[in-house]
Amino acid sequence: MTASTWHYGVTARWWAEFNTDGPEIDFFRSYVEAGQPALDLGCGTGRLLLPYVRGGLDVDGCDVSADMIALCREAAEREGLAPSLYIQPKHELDLPRRYRTVFVCGALGVGSTRAEDLQAFQRVHDHLEPGGMFVLDNEVPYAEGNGWELWRPEGRATLPRLRRPPGKRRVGADGTEYELRSRVLDLDPLEQRMTLEMQAFMWRDGDLVAEDEHLLTLTLYFKDEIVLMLERAGFVDVTVRAALTDAEPTGADDFLVFTARKPALPSSGGRER
């Protein structure tokens, strides 16, 4: 099965409208401040990127979804900002610039396979300056609300889940109403992959004006496989912390943050005279 994501059309509008805040912004900011230029990989509609660029930080963005990038660009232009934004899948990353920091927030395994994610780590490694830092977060598979029970045969027997009935709509700034609905279709414990059906609806003046349906595949990772993948991609000094607190992680943490460094250039080794 090929990986797919759902960040297009109505869903992209939902992200631009409602996903504009969150504690991740301050958390990742300190890494960007410590190493510029930086690349926000899987930047979406610019939830992190826009505040950073607004604050004068040198940050480029890249995302597989042209719709997310278009909305990010529009939001930036409304503020007179013009960050460099690219439309590329992260496993085929090929940008003209090299970075001191690359960060991925909420985008590991989202619409990508394990092989693609490993390739993405290698592409990130290639795009970092020697000594540059890669920072990414990941929600653990056993996190609250992630359907941990679906890994067992009796849980999988309940799949695919039924479609949800219409729920609560959210109202955008211009009065447009939105609703997202999702259901789990499949969980493959061997591949550690969940497949969801995602629906997005949009109403204007009470009339349904757009309706999207996408498959979303999530590749689910445990801590140590990410560490090994980073090391396999050539990174050193890999650390794992609890997300947002930077504390030593425990089994109670739903989000983990990984940092990894591209090795610095070896010293010239010139003979002393």
Ligand X SMILES: C[S@@+](CC[C@H](N)C(=O)[O-])C[C@H]1O[C@@H](n2cnc3c(N)ncnc32)[C@H](O)[C@@H]1O
CB of 220 to ligand X, least distance (A): 14
Specify the 3-state DSSP secondary structure of 247.
Answer: coil
Does position 110 bind ligand X by CB under 6 A?
Answer: yes
**Residues forming a β-bridge with 49:** none
Nearer to ligand X, 90 or 193 (CB): 90
Nearer to ligand X, 65 or 259 (CB): 65
Q: What are residue 45's phi and psi, to 5 degrees? A: -90, 10
CA distances from 128 to 5, 61, 112, 211, 260 (A): 26, 14, 21, 40, 11
| CA dist., res. 163 & res. 161, Å (int) | 7
Nearer to ligand X, 68 or 220 (CB): 68
Is 226 buried (19+), middle (13-18) or exposed (0-12) by CB count in 10 A?
buried
Which residues is 215 bridged to in the sheet? Answer: 197
Which of 32, 38, 76, 107 lies at the binding interface for ligand X (CB under 6 A)? 107
| R_g over Cα of the chain | 20
Residue 124 binds to ligand X (criterion: CB under 6 A): no
**Binding of ligand X by 109 (CB under 6 A):** no
| Interface of this chain with ligand X, residues 28 to 47, rule: CB under 6 A | 42-44, 47
Which range, of 63-71, 140-148, 154-162, 204-212, touches ligand X by CB under 6 A? 63-71
Q: How far is the CB of 211 from ligand X (least distance, A)?
A: 19
Among 64, 187, 194, 218, binds ligand X (CB under 6 A): 64
Cβ contacts of 160-169, under 8 Å, gap ≥ 24: 160/184, 160/185, 160/186, 160/197, 161/185, 163/197, 163/199, 169/201, 169/203
> Tokens 């900011």 label which residue?
29
Question: Binding of ligand X at residue 112 (CB under 6 A)?
Answer: yes
Looking at residues 79 to 98 of the shown chain, list those that interact with ligand X (rule: CB under 6 A).
89-90
* 1 contributes a contact to ligand X by CB under 6 A: no
Q: Which residue has the tokens 């949800």?
A: 164
Cis peptide before 37 (omega within 30 of 0): yes
* Minimum separation from the CB atom of position 105 to ligand X (A): 4
Please state the closest distance from residue 193 (CB atom) to ligand X, in A.
Answer: 14
Q: Give the residue nearest to ligand X (CB).
A: 44
Q: Is 215 helix (H, G, I), strand (E, B) or coil?
A: strand
Minimum gap (Å) between residue 94 Cβ and ligand X:
12
**Closest approach of ligand X to the CB of residue 244, in Å:** 13
**Which residues here bind ligand X, judged by CB under 6 A?**
5, 7, 19, 42-44, 47-48, 63-65, 68, 89-90, 105-107, 110-112
